Chain A
Amino acid sequence: MGDLPEKDPYEVLGVSPLATQEEIRRAYRALVRRYHPDSGTEEASATRFLEIHQAYELLSDPARRRAYDRLHRERRRRKGTSFWWEVILSRSILPALPEEQVLYVLVEVYPSKRVPTRRVPLNLVLVIDRSTSMQGARLDYVKSAAHHIIEDLAPQDVLGVVAFDDRAETIVPSQPLTNREYVHSKVSSIWASGGTEILRGLSAGLEQLRRYHGPDRISHLLLLTDGHTYGDEEACVAEARRAAGEGIGISTFGIGEDWHETFLSALAREAGGTCVYIADPAQARRALRRAVQGLCDILVRDLWLTPRFPAQVRLENVFRCAPDVERLRLIGEEISLGSLSVDAHLSVLLELAVAPMPPGKHRLMQLELRGLLPDAGVEDRLVADLEIEVRTEVEEQPISTAIINAVNKVNLFRMQERAWRALEEGRKEEARQQLEAVATRLLDLGETDLAHIALLEAQRMAQGEEVSKRAKKAIYFGTRHLRLSEGGQK
């Protein structure tokens, strides 16, 4: 019995390599009840029981567990990282110019072929806006969506539910889904009243999430709201940033037209999640379900990109351009990229300003990408050093299609951003022209429906009418999800 077992003891007990002694003991007891030859259950099996017992003996002895971990980690490292990347420059040779130049760097991150051995348990909290504006169909659809989520999750997943108006109430304290009936009945009891103060709901939701948060789980807050919050936006974004630092994600769902798209987008962006526009409340179930399924597919979480530059190079803008377009921001010297799913790919575009440099080879930047593998409880890391060459005479170089596509996609998003900014600042004619330009580009890209919406909006502006909130959201979210090409180089 003292030999190293052939089977992974963590897998046998169904716990993460980061599990505490208490969790290991709990898992062991539950399995013993099921598989003990004397238990009288159908699954009773002497071999399976022996396996479980051996795994428990090994893991419950700290010295033996450490020895096993060391060997196991070594074995895993030799298999290579769980994600891979491709880094593409818009130009690798720059002409020697007396002025600053722009250079784009595209970072495409792919999951390696490795499929996780088991689905990582989820730790979710639903934060539901129950202010008076939600009364009726909106709240009904949201509650129905919540009921479906309760059914979709597995018993080892943890769920909490918080409802808020101008105060927050913990409807269901975070708990493993062993008593679904209780959770269902609590969700049914949510009624509409009061105003909208998102910060209250957000803080209460995060408090519940933290109770079960750990490196072996995917912890995510799902916020559903239909309205503006007043005065607490900045505090909300700060909360989201803190959550991201702890490895907690946030996704936001805006229902109807009266919520602020830049605010809800910012909340999700700060915590590596997504912001979803639910034009028709009946779509709430589908949107929420898709988000939860996305969380089930996560292979790597807490992905952080750290770009480091020499004095001559400056980072001007960072955008995520796949799966959707989003403006990213530096937190300290790092950029939070959220998580990577099994079948997806993630791409990030960095826009750099390069100061005049003498001919010769120069360091451009160092890129570091690290991410946490929740199913193995370890961190993977990739590092690349990038160089450019400055020459006095430069022939025209072909630009990678992937770069052109990425910049084009991001540019369209920026063009519409520019239109709304002009509108907000009262430059109506400029806003109108800008929207027309967006429409023309959309037509060029074959996005006829979206182009039509932008064009009609520009025409309404020309006649001095107000911009429709619905059209603004359609354009804002439409340009983020454009698929200009097949994406990826593979």
Chain B
Amino acid sequence: MIQCPTCGEKYRPGTLFCSKCGTYLPTGGSPRTVTLPTDRLSDVPYTPPETGGLEQEAPVELRAIRVRVLETEREVTLPPASELLMGRRDPMRGIFPDLDLTADGGIEKGVSRRHARILQKEGKVFLEDVGSANGTFLNDQRLMPYLPYPLRDGDRIRIGKLELEIHFE
């Protein structure tokens, strides 16, 4: 038997996800708690209660991140945010990545609509593949999907076939 590192539920070897809490069992990638954006209203017509069941995260210092697309020499500075999505814009499906790689030949270079994201938590920066079709690489190492890897200033990452250089501001 294997045990879910997050909730303790037991599973037979080979099981991939915990059906209770959703943890990816081979790496134990724990589900994170992210603060809900307050400007997005759901269409469910009732008022949210005063006390929330979700823990509010203490605000920490976030950095702006500068990304250079090597192929096109394009440089983008991303605002300080706890989560930055990289991928291809698809308004039909409501996908608006913070870093849209469509203009850099994203489709031909195998960039998924939702490809990878940069997370900031407790002053640290992470890179996580969010189930892309062609994978995300950090300094030539392929990332396990849904598992955040620490990201450092000057790291090179690859989104499908597009090479990016990351700088912290």
Q: Are B44 and A448 in contact (CB under 8 A)?
A: no
| A131: Cβ under 8 A from any B Cβ | no
**A353 contact from B12, B17, B33, B48, Cβ within 8 A:** B12
Within 8 A of B (CB), among A454-490: 455-456, 458-460, 462-463, 468, 470-471, 474, 483-486, 488-489
Residue of A with least CB distance to B32: A444
Determine the interface band of chain A, counting residues with CB < 8 A from chain B. 35 or more
Q: Are A401 and B46 in contact (CB under 8 A)?
A: no
| A171: Cβ under 8 A from any B Cβ | no
Q: Are A418 and B19 in contact (CB under 8 A)?
A: yes
**What is the distance, in angstroms, from B24's C-beta to the closest C-beta of chain A?**
7
CB within 8 Å for A448 and B112 given contacts A415-B20, A462-B53, A485-B133? no
Scan B17-34; emit 1 where CB is below 8 A from any A CB, else 0: 111111010100001111
Residue of B with least CB distance to A486: B133
Determine the interface band of chain B, counting residues with CB < 8 A from chain A. 35 or more
Q: Are A405 and B53 in contact (CB under 8 A)?
A: no
Q: Are A401 and B44 in contact (CB under 8 A)?
A: no
| B123: Cβ under 8 A from any A Cβ | no
CB within 8 Å for A99 and B12 given contacts A444-B31, A448-B36, A483-B93? yes
| A443: Cβ under 8 A from any B Cβ | yes
Stretch in A49-57, A138-146, A406-414 with 4+ CB within 8 Å of B: A406-414
**A434 contact from B15, B20, B133, Cβ within 8 A:** B20
CB within 8 Å for A405 and B131 given contacts A440-B32, A460-B49, A471-B44? yes
| A360: Cβ under 8 A from any B Cβ | no
Main secondary structure of the interface of B (DSSP, over half): loop
Q: Are B33 and A103 in contact (CB under 8 A)?
A: no
| A184: Cβ under 8 A from any B Cβ | no
Q: Are A399 and B16 in contact (CB under 8 A)?
A: yes
CB within 8 Å for A411 and B22 given contacts A401-B132, A437-B31, A449-B42? yes
CB within 8 Å for A453 and B42 given contacts A91-B14, A448-B36, A485-B133? yes
Q: Are B42 and A456 in contact (CB under 8 A)?
A: yes
Residue of B with least CB distance to A103: B14
| B5: Cβ under 8 A from any A Cβ | no
A436 CA to B42 CA, complexed, in Å = 16
Scan B23-61; emit 1 where CB is below 8 A from any A CB, else 0: 010100001111011001011101011011110000000
Extra pairs beyond A440-B22, A445-B131 (16, CB < 8 Å):
A102-B15, A104-B14, A399-B16, A401-B131, A407-B17, A408-B24, A415-B20, A440-B21, A444-B22, A448-B37, A449-B40, A451-B36, A455-B54, A459-B53, A460-B49, A471-B44
What residues of chain B have their CB less than 8 Å away from a CB belonging to chain A?
1, 11-22, 24, 26, 31-34, 36-37, 40, 42-44, 46, 48-49, 51-54, 85, 93, 95, 112-114, 130-133, 135, 142, 145-146
25 contacts between A and B (CB under 8 A): A100-B12, A101-B12, A102-B15, A399-B26, A401-B133, A401-B135, A404-B16, A408-B16, A415-B22, A436-B53, A443-B32, A444-B34, A446-B85, A446-B95, A446-B114, A446-B130, A448-B40, A449-B40, A449-B43, A451-B36, A455-B53, A456-B48, A463-B49, A488-B133, A489-B133
What residues of chain A have their CB less than 8 Å away from a CB belonging to chain B?
90-91, 94-95, 97, 99-104, 353-354, 398-399, 401, 403-405, 407-408, 411-412, 414-415, 418, 432, 434, 436-441, 443-446, 448-449, 451-453, 455-456, 458-460, 462-463, 468, 470-471, 474, 483-486, 488-489
